[in-house]
């Protein structure tokens, strides 16, 4: 099992958000995690990537057999965990190409691999650009600064393509995208599917799953996975709303 | 991350690397200041009589002045009678090559990372090394002389180029200008004189490395650069200083004169000892820097990266006298720990169509206190003069502070003045974003800060830009978290 989460409990500022969550993700699998707002989806994504401010109070998170909980975000990154942000952060004045090169080389160095020089890096990034249909001009701009919503999300997928993670977590990647941008982003993700790369899609809507076909669909509600199934579950949710599973009133 | 950062990390682990004391016998006069001390300095410098008169006039004026209290920096009152006003290495040879330099001194330079020989061979930068108050080695003299450029210590200029010095000394910063400028005029001990003749493009970047090394010795540099009609010069100034218990006063004066169509670019990277964790013992840096765009279409550009000193008080300024003349000020100032900085510029537009640009980037961390103080004055005659000011502050942590005090005076209705100011904080979300891509927290801070300062670094000559990035990374070590 690539990712094994057992009975995970976590709180933010004393409030328990995850209340005993279990999830198993095998190599090459695509899992969609759906759920109403406030169910803990983004919390799960952030905890996996190592964001500060969450206290894990119980349970375990193993990534290829190693516990993640004590690792710093950068250590998780170099082990192959990647989070595509719901709201990618702007870094004014920091050149996008420079940022990508520093990030890739930091990870390579941490893994004991040789760092890429500028020539090798530029060759690599050009290949990856084509994969996500991003304009090369965006590489010359500061990271995400002044990017449109679609450009920011594509930049996330470009980073994913470049960093070649083992486990990619896409947090609401579909939010704020028009249908063309959604398709481009999805094509990028699909191009990166491989037998040794797993993907967790965190999403509120079924729409994304029309473009990226998941192997498994889980419904997160009240801090736990309340139902798991195949992609048929997503369709059912779309029709019946989240209230159907959680007993809450909220509609999808 | 990059190899630069590797070096930085190694440096950081060593603490304030430049905080060593070189064991060279120093000839210091007893603390205190009176006319006899000034006569002693002048005599030791073998100066002409008029220089002594100039010093005494300034001293007498200074006696009637009080230290400025309008800036936002705070420090205990300075007792000027406890300072020693002259220190010179005892073995003061007349040098023709570096072989004649005291080997101990050369080792000091190597510790500082500025081996003169390598610089000579590799970088093409002429170095006038100032150790304490006396120049001990000057290189590239011949190349410069061939171009007609004079590049020497100011004492030497007093002896060898008295007419030039007499014409320009104090012509931009008069001895009556302010308290510290008056003090400097009375007791200045060395510094640099540069003269670029008409139409000459100086064949290399000129550089001076300062070093304050004798305990209780204030250093009073005096720099004068004159660029004749149509000439160009780029001057670099970089400094480090040894660790000390007591506050060290540094009150320099820099005067620039640009004639018609002349251009002067003056760059500074300053990394003086900022004091210990409690803020004790750092350098007080009270500097008066002013450039005079005397001729039409002349241009003076100040670029500074200020990371050191306990207190920085400096306002490199431009008098835009000539029509169509241009003044520029690009600044990065870092305050952390208990550092204080009150810095900025003055752009005085006197001529028609004069233009000025001010870009100031302030970074505060820890308990750092920082103020940008800038004056833009459009005089009555300054038809169509323009100024653009951009003033950005970056805060790291929640105990530091940044303030902006723009002073704008417009007496001509056709003048245009723009002022933009921003304040931002390095956000947790920015740090997490970088770290989730594999960068360490320190590297993330360095990346964000360097991005913030990029406009300024672009103005620096290449080797200084690299140095400046290193300094910033060292300065901000441990600033987050």
Q: Which domain holds residue B57?
A: 3-475
Average pLDDT on B104-121 reads 48
Per-residue model confidence (pLDDT) at position B239: 57
Whether residue B240 is predicted with pLDDT greater than 90 in this model: the reply is no
Summarize pLDDT for A158-209 with one digit per residue, the tens.
999 999 999 999 999 888 888 888 888 898 889 889 999 999 999 988 888 9
pLDDT in the model for residue B210: 40
pLDDT above 80 for B196: yes
Q: Which residue, among B428, B432, B437, B453, would best test binding to A if mutated, counting the most A CBs under 10 Å from its CB?
A: B437
Judged by a CB distance cut-off of 8 A, whether residue A104 touches chain B is yes
Confidence of residue A250 (pLDDT cuts 50, 70, 90): very low
Residue B480 lies in a domain: no
CB atoms within 10 A of CB A119: 8
Q: Evaluate if residue B99 carries a pLDDT over 90.
A: no
Residue B151, pLDDT above cutoff 70: yes
The helix/strand/coil state of B248 is strand
d(CA B303, CA A238): 61
- Residue B165 backbone phi and psi in degrees, to 5: -60, -40
Question: What is the residue-averaged pLDDT of chain B?
Answer: 80
What's the rounded Cα separation, in Å, for the pair B194 and B212? 22
Contact A141, A147 (CB under 8 A): yes
Q: At what angle do helices B35-44 and B49-63 cross, to 10 degrees?
A: 150
Chain B nearest-CA distance from A231, in A, is: 29
pLDDT over 80 (residue B439): yes
What angle separates helix B179-187 from helix B49-63, to the nearest 10 degrees? 150
Residues in chain A: 252
**B-chain residues near A163 (CB < 8 A):** 437-438
Q: Which residues of B touch A92 (CB under 8 A)?
A: 451-452
**CB of B418 closer than 8 Å to CB of B388:** yes
pLDDT at B202 exceeding the cut of 50: yes
Q: Give the other-Cβ count within 10 Å of B320's Cβ.
A: 33
Give the least confident one: A97-106, A220-229, B4-13, B290-299.
B4-13
In this prediction, residue B126 carries a pLDDT of: 47
Higher pLDDT, B72 or B34: B34
CATH architecture of A3-251: 3-Layer(aba) Sandwich (3.40)
Contact between B252 and B220 under an 8 Å Cβ cutoff? The reply is: yes
8 A C-beta contact, residue B243 and residue B273: yes
Please give the pLDDT value at position B464.
72
Position B481 in a domain: no
Q: How far is A89 from chain B (nearest CA, A)?
A: 6
* B430 with A88: Cβ contact below 8 A: no
pLDDT for residue B243 is more than 90: no
Look at residue B384 and tell me whether its pLDDT is greater than 60: yes
Does B92 score more than 60 pLDDT?
no
Higher pLDDT, B55 or B78: B55
Domain count along chain B: 1
pLDDT at position B216 is 36
Q: How many residues make up chain B in this entry?
A: 481
Q: How far apart are CA B413 and CA B404, in angstroms?
A: 25
- Tokens 């550009």 correspond to what residue? B301
B contacts of A88 (beta carbons < 8 Å):
433
What is the band of B135 on the pLDDT scale with cuts at 50, 70, 90? very low
**Residue B56 is assigned to a structural domain of this protein:** yes
- Cα separation, B266 vs B258, in Å, equals 12
Q: How confident is the model at residue B17 (pLDDT cuts 50, 70, 90)?
A: very low
- pLDDT higher than threshold 90 for residue B128: no
Task: Output the 3-class SS for chain A.
Answer: CCEEEEEEEEEECCEEEEEEEEEEECCCCEEEEECCCCCCHHHHHHHHHCCCCCEEEEEEEEECCEECCCCCHHHHHHHCEEEECCCCCCEEEEEHHHHHHHHHHHHHHHCCCCCCCHHHHHHHHHHHHHHHCCCCHHHHCEECCCCCHHHHHHHHHHHHHHHCCCEEEEECCCCCCCHHHHHHHHHHHHHCCECCEEEEEEECCCHHHHCCCCCEEEEEECCEEEEEECHHHHHHHHHHCCHHHHCCCCCC
**What integer pLDDT is reported at residue B474 of this predicted model?**
67
Average pLDDT in chain A: 90
pLDDT of residue B12: 39
Whose tokens are 């210990």? That residue is B276
Phi, psi angle pair for B217, to nearest 5°: -105, 115
Which residues in chain A touch residue B434, judged by CB atoms under 8 angstroms apart?
Answer: 91, 99, 103
Question: In 3-state terms, what secondary structure has residue B437?
Answer: coil
Q: For the ranges A82-91, A102-111, B231-240, B399-408, which has the lowest average pLDDT?
A: B231-240
Distance from CA of A76 to the nearest CA of B (A): 8
| Residue B81 predicted with pLDDT over 50 | yes
**Which region among B184-193, B227-236, B357-366, B470-479 has the lowest average model confidence (pLDDT)?**
B470-479
Highest mean pLDDT among B63-77, B214-228, B317-331, B359-373: B317-331
Contact B439 A93 (CB under 8 A): no
**Cα–Cα dist B88/B46, whole Å:** 14
Q: What is the pLDDT of residue B3?
A: 45
Mean pLDDT, residues A143-155: 90
Instruction: Look up residue A38 and give its two tokens.
Output: 């406030």
- Write the CB contacts of B405 (distance below 8 Å, at least 6 apart in sequence): B344, B371, B372, B373, B374
Domain definitions of chain A by residue range: 3-251
Identify the band that residue B479 occupies on the pLDDT scale cut at 50, 70 and 90. low
C-alpha distances (whole Å) from B445 to each of A83, A155, B376, B431, B469 are 20, 21, 33, 7, 12
pLDDT higher than 80, residue B102 = no
Residue B319 is assigned to a structural domain of this protein: yes
Q: What is the pLDDT of residue A252?
A: 36
**Residues in chain B within 8 Å Cβ distance of A107:** 437-438
**B294 CB contacts (<8 Å, ≥6 apart)?**
B257, B258, B259, B260, B321, B322
pLDDT, tens digit (0-9, with 9 covering 90-100), for B292-333: 999 999 999 999 988 877 888 899 999 999 999 999 999 998
Between B132 and A130, where is the model more confident?
A: A130
**The predicted structure's pLDDT at residue A181:** 84
Confidence of residue B480 (pLDDT cuts 50, 70, 90): low
Rounded average pLDDT over B57-79: 86
Q: For residue A51, give the nearest of B432, B438, B447 by CB distance.
A: B432
Per-residue pLDDT reduced to its tens digit, A12-50: 988 999 999 999 999 999 999 998 888 899 999 999 999
**pLDDT for position B340:** 86
Chain A residues touching B420 at Cβ < 8 A = none
Nearest to A102 among B429, B447, B452 (CB): B447
The pairing of beta strand A198-203 with beta strand A30-34? parallel
Query: Does the distance separating the beta carbons of A91 and B434 come in below 8 Å?
Result: yes
Highest mean pLDDT among B202-206, B399-403, B417-421: B417-421
Residue B70 lies in a domain: yes
A chain contacts of residue B432, beta-carbon cutoff 8 Å:
49, 51-52, 73, 89
> Is some CB atom of chain B closer than 8 A to the CB atom of A42?
no
């Amino acid at each position: 099992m690539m990712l094994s989460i057992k009975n995970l409990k976590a709180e933010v500022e004393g409030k328990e958000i995850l209340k005993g969550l279990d999830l198993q993700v095998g190599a090459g699998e695509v899992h969609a995690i759906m759920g109403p707002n406030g169910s803990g989806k983004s919390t799960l994504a952030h905890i996996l990537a190592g964001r500060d401010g969450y206290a894990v109070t119980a349970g375990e998170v193993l990534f290829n057999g190693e516990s993640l909980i004590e690792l710093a975000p950068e250590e998780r990154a170099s082990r192959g965990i990647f989070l595509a942000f719901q709201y990618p952060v702007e870094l004014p004045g920091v050149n996008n190409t420079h940022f990508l090169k520093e990030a890739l080389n930091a990870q390579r160095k941490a893994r004991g691999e040789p760092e890429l020089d500028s020539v090798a890096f530029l060759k690599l990034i050009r290949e990856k650009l084509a994969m996500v249909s991003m304009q090369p001009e965006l590489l010359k701009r500061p990271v995400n600064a002044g990017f449109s919503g679609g450009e920011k999300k594509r930049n996330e997928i470009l980073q994913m393509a470049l960093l070649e993670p083992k486990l990619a977590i896409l947090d609401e990647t579909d939010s704020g995208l028009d249908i063309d941008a959604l398709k481009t982003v999805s094509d990028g993700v699909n191009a990166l599917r491989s037998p040794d790369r797993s993907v967790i899609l965190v999403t509120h809507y079924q729409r994304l799953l029309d473009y990226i076909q998941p192997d498994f669909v889980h419904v997160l509600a009240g801090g736990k996975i309340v139902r798991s199934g195949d992609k048929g579950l997503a369709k059912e949710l779309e029709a019946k709303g989240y209230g159907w599973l959680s007993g809450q009133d909220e509609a999808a | 991350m990059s190899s630069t950062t590797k070096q930085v990390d190694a440096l950081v682990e060593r603490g304030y690397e430049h905080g060593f004391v070189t064991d060279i016998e120093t000839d210091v006069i007893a603390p205190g200041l009176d006319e006899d001390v000034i006569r002693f300095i002048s005599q030791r410098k073998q100066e002409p009589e008029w220089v002594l008169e100039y010093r005494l006039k300034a001293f007498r004026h200074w006696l009637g002045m009080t230290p400025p209290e309008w800036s936002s920096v705070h420090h205990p009152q300075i007792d000027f009678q406890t300072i020693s006003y002259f220190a010179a290495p005892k073995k003061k040879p007349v040098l023709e090559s570096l072989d004649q330099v005291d080997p101990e001194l050369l080792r000091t330079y190597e510790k500082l990372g500025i081996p003169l020989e390598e610089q000579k061979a590799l970088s093409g930068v002429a170095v006038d090394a100032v150790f304490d108050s006396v120049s001990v080695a000057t290189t590239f003299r011949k190349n410069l002389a061939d171009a007609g450029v004079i590049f020497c210590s100011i004492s030497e200029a007093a002896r060898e180029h008295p007419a030039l010095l007499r014409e320009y000394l104090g012509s931009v910063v008069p001895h009556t200008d302010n308290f510290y400028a008056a003090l400097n005029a009375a007791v200045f001990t060395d510094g640099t004189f540069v003269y670029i003749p008409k139409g000459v493009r100086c064949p290399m970047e000129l550089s001076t490395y300062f070093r304050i090394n004798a305990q209780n010795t204030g250093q009073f540099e005096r720099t004068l650069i004159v660029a004749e009609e149509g000439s160009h010069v780029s001057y670099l100034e970089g400094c480090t200083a040894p660790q000390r218990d007591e506050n060290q006063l540094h009150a320099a004066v820099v005067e620039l004169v640009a004639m018609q169509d002349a251009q002067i670019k003056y760059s500074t990277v300053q990394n003086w000892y900022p004091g210990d964790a409690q803020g004790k013992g750092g350098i007080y840096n009270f500097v008066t820097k002013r450039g005079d765009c005397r001729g039409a279409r002349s241009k003076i550009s100040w670029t500074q990266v200020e990371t050191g000193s306990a207190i920085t008080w400096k306002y490199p300024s431009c008098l835009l006298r000539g029509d169509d003349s241009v003044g520029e000020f690009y600044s990065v100032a870092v305050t952390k720990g208990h550092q204080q900085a009150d810095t900025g510029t003055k752009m005085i537009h006197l001529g028609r169509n004069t233009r000025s640009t001010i870009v100031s980037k302030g970074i505060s961390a820890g308990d750092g206190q920082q103020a940008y103080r800038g004056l833009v004055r459009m005089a009555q005659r300054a038809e169509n003069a323009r100024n653009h000011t951009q003033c950005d502050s970056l805060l790291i942590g929640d105990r530091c502070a940044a303030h902006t005090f723009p002073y704008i005076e417009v007496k001509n209705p056709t003048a245009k003045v723009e002022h933009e100011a921003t304040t931002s904080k390095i956000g947790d979300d920015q740090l997490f974003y970088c770290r989730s891509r594999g960068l360490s927290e320190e590297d993330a801070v360095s990346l964000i800060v360097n991005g913030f300062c990029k406009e300024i670094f672009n103005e620096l000559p290449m080797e200084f830009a690299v140095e400046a990035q290193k300094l910033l990374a060292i300065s901000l070590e441990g600033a987050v978290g």
